[in-house]
Structures are given as C-alpha cells and as structure tokens.
Amino acid sequence: MLTIALYIAFGSIALAIIFCALRLLRGPDPADRVLAFDTLYINTIALLIVLDIHQSTSLFFEAALLIAMIGFVATVALARYLARGNLGE
C-alpha cells in the first residue's frame, strides 16, 4: 500500500515538474518565469523527501534544506532585479 502511494506521489510530482517547466519555457513575462522557477524548486524538495521515504534513510534531508535556502535567495534576488532593474542600491 505504501509502495502504491509512493509511486503515485512520484508520478504527481513529476507531472507537476513538467507543468512548471512548460510555464518556465513559455511564460509571457519574466515574472512568470521566476514564479515557475520558485514552484520548480519547491517541487524538487518534495521529490527529495519522497525519495527519503522510499529509501528509508534521512540522507537527502540536508540536500532538501540546502535547496530550500538557495532557492529562496535566488527567488528574492530575481524578484528584486525584476522590480528595480538592478540589484545594488
């Protein structure tokens, strides 16, 4: 039962990643692309967590935490750049 749930989770996360990639490729505005990137890294975190459950380890926890932190910084920097046109003061 857990195996079936794991495969459903893998499949739906993969589908979500495909949707995000589509939006990343065709988003009409750069803000759409940044939003798609934001959703993409959150989906990657979910994929790593499900892999953790599948392998019965907690090896990928640190990787997920790192992706969360770096992705947040990247999103903030890109959004500031889009809003202002530059990054510094």
Partner 1 sequence: MLDIVVSVLLLVGSVFILVGAIGLIRLPDFFMRLHGPTKATTLGVGGMLLAAIVHAIDYDFSLREILISLFLFVTAPVSAYLLGQAGLQRRVPSRAPVPEEYRGLRR
Amino acid at 6: L
Residue with tokens 């990787």: 63
Residues sharing a CB contact under 8 Å with residue 32, sequence separation 6 or more, in sequence order:
23
- Tell me if 62 sits within 8 A of 49, measured CB to CB: no
Closer residue to partner 1 (CB): 64 or 88: 64
C-alpha gyration radius of the chain: 16
Shortest distance in whole angstroms from residue 88 CB to partner 1: 17
38 vs 40: CA distance, rounded Å: 5
Q: Which of 29, 86, 88, 89 touches partner 1 by CB under 8 A?
A: 29
70 binds partner 1 (CB under 8 A): no
Contact residues: partner 1, CB under 8 A: 1-2, 4-6, 8-9, 12-13, 15-17, 19-20, 22-23, 29-32, 34-36, 38-39, 42-43, 45-46, 49-50, 52-53, 56-58, 61, 64-65, 68-69, 72, 75-76, 79-80, 82-84
